Amino acid sequence: MTQKTVTLIDNSTGKKYEYPVLEGTVGPAVIDIRKLYSDTGYFTFDPGYTSTGSTESQITYIDGDKGILLHRGYAIEDLAEHSDFLEVCYLLLNGALPTQKEREQFEHTITHHTMVHEQLTAFYRGFRRDAHPMAVLCGVTGALSAFYHDSTDINDPQQRLIASHRMIAKIPTIAAMAYKYSIGQPFVYPRNDLSFAENFLHMMFAVPCEPYRVNPVVAKAMDRILILHADHEQNASTSTVRLAGSSGANPFACVAAGIASLWGPAHGGANEAVLKMLQEIGSKDRIPEFVRRAKDKNDNFRLMGFGHRVYKNYDPRAQVMRRTCHEVLAELGIKDEPLLDIAMELERIALEDDYFIEKKLYPNVDFYSGIILKAIGLPTSMFTVLFAVARTVGWIAQWKEMIEDPQQKIGRPRQLYTGQTHRAYVPVGQRG
Ligand code: CMC
């Protein structure tokens, strides 16, 4: 088969340049412009990377128009229904679902890495009690390379593997400790007889003075939320992890960079922002006012939990989240949840509104997750922390793929410079 190409004609010189088109297994092909600058002297200009494929990857595929999300080829709906979080972690990291033996081994490894270095507990005391747990999570994760330097040599595959397992296993412990610290309760050590989701709930909500029983429906919902957030292709935080890692930085430092990027309200911070927005709306009769504000060009208010850079259809994760939300509220006997009523009415109104239809703005994963997390008892400030706990495996899988890619180079974008050209220095006394 002949290689597909695209020809670029420079109208100022009449010169023609030909660039190969690279086909993936599914989804849009890409124009390989790696030689563009050396051939033509031009860079491409794509702020926000709306048309840029930054890497080749085999982990996650999204078709934003059809609302499809696949991890290693498996549909997110199937994984959410039939799998569990640790199996999805294995899948993302290794490319295939584990055999029974591999699954047991992996579970054993992750379970036995959940404790953190005892010295790390002292680290928390340096933070203010009222610090946002994302700030604490970011700081403590950044400090991990100071505790586990025996797994920071990225050129050693065995160290990379250990660092990956440590990161996935310890992040729930670190997250739960951030919460316990913020409310002045003692840290709760992980329990090896619990599943990943159960253990996280236990570390969050158990206290030493009485037994804590994990509600199986809540644990199932937590596991599902973790699956739904596990990876999402080259989003802002994942691209941050890849860019940080491209210089050879250790994985703990890279994940800390990813956490920092995730915190923003346009990304992982949206789940917290959705709940705040629903509380601010307060009652169904005020919805039209907020929809009007979201459509007003002169008002920077946006409907949080709506819209997505890639999905121009219903986010498939939001569909599962919506169902889970109803299940959890029913199990917990929450019949009248005013925030859920407002959310459902808001969704109905927005989906019928021309503005949202034209711009293809649908509810995203964060629209319903906040209501579930609130029902489970998670404080709002922990919502994005939970997102980070789940996404850590995605960051690690993408980091590992990058390090193992023989074509990997340091990420170094260029720019369109529009500042001053060269100026002569003027001594201070001669400046006008
Ligand atoms: N409410 C009102 N208008 C919106 C919204 C919204 N939530 N989202 C986008 N628009 C409008 C926007 O004003 C723009 O209008 P115009 O073309 O007239 O300028 C148009 O839709 C396209 O928006 P954009 O900002 O150019 O699109 P983007 O791809 O850069 O942004 C987004 C995607 C997710 C940042 C944005 O939709 C948004 O801010 N949504 C609210 C925050 C949110 O829910 N984020 C969670 C994303 S899902 C979880 C994750 O992956 O992290």
Q: Of 76, 259, 308, which is best to mutate to test ligand 1, by the most ligand atoms within 8 angstroms of its C-beta? A: 308
For residue 60, list its beta bridge partners.
Answer: 71
How many angstroms is it from 309 CA to the middle of ligand 1?
7
Predicted pLDDT of residue 1:
66
Which tokens is 75 given? 């549909």
How many angstroms is it from 283 CA to the middle of ligand 1?
24
Q: How far apart are the first and last CA of the chain?
A: 67
Nearest of 172, 159, 189 to residue 86 by alpha carbon? 172
Give φ, ψ of 129 to 5 degrees: -65, -30
CA dist., res. 373 & res. 272, Å (int): 10
Predicted pLDDT of residue 412:
95
Among the atoms of ligand 1, which is closest to the Cα of residue 50?
29
Predicted pLDDT of residue 313:
87
Nearest of 360, 176, 155, 389 to residue 262 by alpha carbon? 389
Is residue 366 annotated as part of the catalytic site, yes or no?
Answer: yes
User: What b-and-e string marks burial along 40-68, b requiring 16 or more CB atoms within 10 Å of the CB?
Assistant: eeeeeeeeeeeeebebebebbbbbbeebb
Q: Give nearest CA residue, ligand 1 atom 29.
A: 309
Q: Give nearest CA residue, ligand 1 atom 20.
A: 359
Q: Of 76, 281, 309, 310, which is best to mutate to test ligand 1, by the most ligand atoms within 8 angstroms of its C-beta? A: 309
Q: Give nearest CA residue, ligand 1 atom 11.
A: 359
How many angstroms is it from 185 CA to the middle of ligand 1?
38
**Angstrom distances, CA of residue 47 to CA of 50, 277, 413:** 7, 29, 11
% of the chain beyond a pLDDT of 70? 100
Listed as ranges, residues in the chain with pLDDT below 70 are: 1
Predicted TM-score (pTM) above 0.75: yes
Beta-strand pair 30-31/60-63 = unpaired
Nearest of 111, 331, 120, 145 to residue 221 by alpha carbon? 331
- On the 0-12 / 13-18 / 19+ scale of CB atoms within 10 A, 210 is exposed
How many angstroms is it from 236 CA to the middle of ligand 1?
14
Nearest of 273, 237, 270 to residue 365 by alpha carbon? 270
CA dist., res. 36 & res. 348, Å (int): 47
Predicted pLDDT of residue 338:
87
How many angstroms is it from 49 CA to the middle of ligand 1?
15
pLDDT tens digits along 238-296: 999 999 999 999 999 999 999 999 999 888 888 889 999 999 999 999 999 999 999 99
Question: What residues flank ligand 1, with Cβ below 6 Å?
Answer: 232, 235, 266-268, 270, 294, 302-309, 359, 361, 364-366
Three-state SS sequence of the chain: CCCCEEEEECCCCCCEEEEEEECCCCCCCEECCCCHHHHHCCCCCCHHHCCCCCCCCCCEEEECCCCEEEECCEEHHHHHHHCCHHHHHHHHHHCCCCCHHHHHHHHHHHHCCCCCCCHHHHHHCCCCCCCCHHHHHHHHHHHHHHHCHHHCCCCCHHHHHHHHHHHHHHHHHHHHHHHHHHHCCCCCCCCCCCCHHHHHHHHHHCECCECCCCCHHHHHHHHHHHHHCCCCCCCHHHHHHHHHHCCCCCHHHHHHHHHHHHCCCCCCCHHHHHHHHHHHHCCHHHHHHHHHHHHCCCCCCCCCCECCCCCCCCCHHHHHHHHHHHHHHHHCCCCCCHHHHHHHHHHHHHHHCHHHHHCCCCECCHHHHHHHHHHHCCCHHHHHHHHHHHHHHHHHHHHHHHHCCCCCCCCCCCCCCCCCCCCCCCCHHHCC
pLDDT tens digits along 176-207: 999 999 999 999 999 999 999 999 999 999 99
